[in-house]
Homo-oligomer: A and B are copies of this chain.
Amino acid sequence: MNLTSSIQRPTLHEELVERLRNLVIEDILKPDEKVPEKELCESFGVSRTPLREALKVLASEGLVVLQANRGARIARVTREELENTFPVLAALEQLAGELACAHLDDEGISKIEERHAEMLAAYKAQDRKAYFQANQDIHNALISGAQNDVLKAHHRRLAARVSRARFMVNLSDERWSEAISEHKQMMMRLRCRDAVGLGQLMKTHMTNKLAAHVKALGSDGEPRQKQT
């Protein structure tokens, strides 16, 4: 008997939260659009009750906004919010870097090392998609490596909030090469378990990422150019 795979997803609303969240993040449900309750119910094959429960949860996460008697709309991530989010993300990543240095074992580090190599390869091949994936994996591995579930949960929530923006924005060549060099430095710090140093670099890395994003955004918070 395999005990690790028991109980997949008990409740409908949990499943719905997950699915709706993805629809928002993947930009299938677009900002300011009102959520088509009826259609979603039909396509998911559920009644309104669990779907509305899911919307309440997503609202508390800030992914949708509820208007009394006027239903739900997909939240628009304003430039201001973006500018507010990144410093917080940066602070959490700094902490994650410090904790990861302390808690990751050699095996954990070498796994990140692998992903790092893949990321460099993707850069060499100018494969943006593979780069994004490897990059995200590295960040997630560092967050997980911190072994702090509270940190992980809050980071996850913040990242979800801006991931659409990250998804949409085209990385400039300059920023890309800069990010690569920052990652190289981060790996060096991780290797010698320089907690404070890694934390500092991760904070800076995130701050620079924000600067690049803001530069790429118009004042309306929508990207000047869409991703190809």
8 Å CB contacts to B: which residues of A24-65? Answer: 49, 52-54, 56-57, 59-62
A192 CB–B CB distance under 8 Å: no
Chain B residues within 8 Å of A151, by CB? 84, 87-88
Chain B residues within 8 Å of A94, by CB? 91
Kindly state the separation between the CA atoms of A13 and B91 in the bound complex, as whole angstroms.
Answer: 33
Shortest beta-carbon distance from A101 to chain B in Å: 14
Kindly state the separation between the CA atoms of A69 and B11 in the bound complex, as whole angstroms.
Answer: 9
Chain B residues within 8 Å of A59, by CB? 57
Shortest beta-carbon distance from A207 to chain B in Å: 12
Chain B residues within 8 Å of A10, by CB? 68-69
Nearest residue in B to A94 (C-beta to C-beta)?
Answer: B91
A20 CB–B CB distance under 8 Å: no
A95 CB–B CB distance under 8 Å: yes
Q: Which of B49, B154, B158 contacts A49 (CB 8 A)?
A: B49
Which of A52, A53, A149: most chain B CB closer than 10 A? A53
A168 CB–B CB distance under 8 Å: no
8 Å CB contacts to B: which residues of A1-28? Answer: 7, 10-11, 13, 17
User: What 0/1 pattern do residues 100 to 119 of A give for CB contact below 8 A with B?
Assistant: 00000000000000000000
Chain B residues within 8 Å of A92, by CB? 88, 91
Does A158 contact B154, Cβ atoms closer than 8 Å?
A: yes
Kindly state the separation between the CA atoms of A13 and B57 in the bound complex, as whole angstroms.
Answer: 11
A125 CB–B CB distance under 8 Å: no
A81 CB–B CB distance under 8 Å: yes
Q: Which of B57, B85, B91, B154 contacts A56 (CB 8 A)?
A: B57
Kindly state the separation between the CA atoms of A78 and B136 in the bound complex, as whole angstroms.
Answer: 30
Shortest beta-carbon distance from A159 to chain B in Å: 12
